[in-house]
Chain A
Amino acid sequence: MRRAAEILVALTESDLRARYGRGPWQLLKWLVDPFALVGIYLLLVTFILRRPGEDPGLSLACAVVPFQLVMMTVINAMGAVQLRGAIVRNMAFDRVLIPVSSAFTEAVAFAASLVLFAVMIAAYRVQPTASIVWLPLAIAVTLVFAVACAYVASLIGLWFRDLRPFVISFVRAMFFLAPGLVAIGDIGGSAESLVKLNPLTGLFEAYRSAFLEGHPARAWQFGYPLAWAAVFFAAALPLYVREEKQFAKVVE
């Protein structure tokens, strides 16, 4: 266990440097995306779509911040084995941990982007309630879901390299097929039940429960994403374990 933790730290540390460079600019790179996305969507929701909703900036942040972790993990994981091609071709090591390190790398950026919540809470003068205690669980579920996605993405990145742009578009589409721009309460009708099936819905709404709605998170908000994560693990992990032995053949 300790050995696995050391390998994971080494992989994550090197991945952070390879992808995000070194020094104070790292922080800026991590913050630009979530801040820019919330800014653009805020303009869209408030001035163009004129959708109703409570504290729209904070509501958007509740969707954008966890989504960024999932999105960036998928992008990272699709190229993670190739990025380490030189090592994979040269030495045997525990390659099962590569997708986990992709999620952990992006989790560092995710942690930095939590600043956005503080900014939005201050901007809308939201009084935190006891529901904030659900935030650590929401973060943990987001991370588990991201790790599960990383195994699927790693396999796709190796098997179907040409499909990488489509996978990115697909994940981005999932944001709009979830209550990303508006809270689920503002959707209503039969669409609400369908949207709940999207694993991102539970994640987004769990953050809204913690920050905005002042009531405890609902079981489905954690249950659906975890159920999807379990499906991804069950489908992708055994395949990944079998395929990792062949990685040195296929990395360029």
Chain B
Amino acid sequence: MSAAVVAEGLGVHFFFDRQHRVVTPALARLRRRSSDLWGIHGVDLAIGPGEGVALIGSNGVGKSTLLRAIAGVLPADAGRIEARGRVAALLSVDAGLMPTLTGRENCMLLGVLAGLSRRRAQRALGEIQEQTALGEEFDHPVSSYSQGMRARLGFAVADQVGPDILLLDEVHEAIDHDSRTPVEERAREIRRNGGIVVAAGHDHLLLRRLCDRAILLRDGAIEADGEFGRVSGSYTS
């Protein structure tokens, strides 16, 4: 199966209560809601095997929302989104890790939730401990980790499943320079093997090393889509 991401008229809708807390659509119908907005709307997108796509734009334009919709974390409230292939994602600074659990316990939990059997998740623990160079910290609660350590561990855990589609949301920017190289190499390997990398962020030099195509988002919609240098240039100029 070749990896692919296809979106047609994709929209993700957010509702807020009077205290401006996000509520679900069902609750918004029950309560007198104060406002709503489309995080992204009318997004048409096709990403094929071997592509690396950067999502760029100012804060709050919908980059994270689009990544989460691709990951299946957020639903398509309008249109449709399909991601073909195994997805691994690093979509938040906490890298999906529960702070009260140790690195080892997080690896087991996230490995199983991502689709591994318990036995396979167990077998991968030693490799992850080595790969992340966490040493004894691997058995300490994640709440004691630096942001970079969390990002390293989160990436290693996500990588366990052998992803066809890798989604990165600024998290890779939190990794120190020494640890970025393995992430970049892995991303290139995924693309070489016919997989897809979609990364969002503000570090265009780093994004350029991961992706040769860029999508510029503005107000939740795609403003430009094309070769990285051209789209990035149109945004920064």
Contacts and interface: CB of A to CB of B under 8 A. Distances in A.
B112 A249 contact: no
A2 to B, nearest CB: 9
Contacts of B21: 250
B98 A92 contact: no
A14 interface: yes
Interface in B101-142: 101, 105, 108-110, 112-114, 117-118
B161 to A, nearest CB: 10
Contacts of B154: 90
B98 A18 contact: yes
Interface string B1-27: 000000000000010000001111111
B100 interface: yes
A215 interface: no
A197 interface: no
A83 B98 contact: yes
Interface majority SS on A: helix, strand, loop or mixed?
helix
Interface stretch (A5-13, A41-49, A70-78): A5-13
Given A7-B112, A10-B113, A249-B14, A159 B92 contact: no
A246 interface: yes
Interface string A1-25: 0000011011101100110000000
A89 B92 contact: yes
Contacts of A246: 24-26, 75
Which 6 interchain pairs have the tightest Cβ spacing? A90-B96, A92-B72, A10-B112, A246-B24, A93-B113, A245-B75
Nearest to B154: A90
Interface of A: 6-7, 9-11, 13-14, 17-18, 83-84, 86-93, 158-159, 239, 242-243, 245-246, 248-250
A91 B109 contact: no
B100 A17 contact: yes
B73 A91 contact: yes
A89 B73 contact: yes
A95 to B, nearest CB: 10
Contacts of A9: 112, 118
Given A14-B109, A92-B71, A248-B68, A86 B97 contact: yes
Given A6-B112, A86-B95, A91-B91, 11 more contacts: A7-B113, A10-B108, A14-B105, A17-B101, A17-B105, A90-B95, A90-B96, A91-B96, A243-B26, A246-B24, A248-B73
Q: Which of A18, A91, A242, A248 has the most CB of B within 10 A?
A: A91
A98 to B, nearest CB: 11
A14 B98 contact: yes
Q: Which of B14, B23, B73, B154 has the most CB of A within 10 A?
A: B73
B87 A249 contact: no
A9 B154 CA distance: 21
A65 to B, nearest CB: 27
A86 B75 contact: no
B24 A92 contact: no
Contacts of A158: 24
B26 A11 contact: no
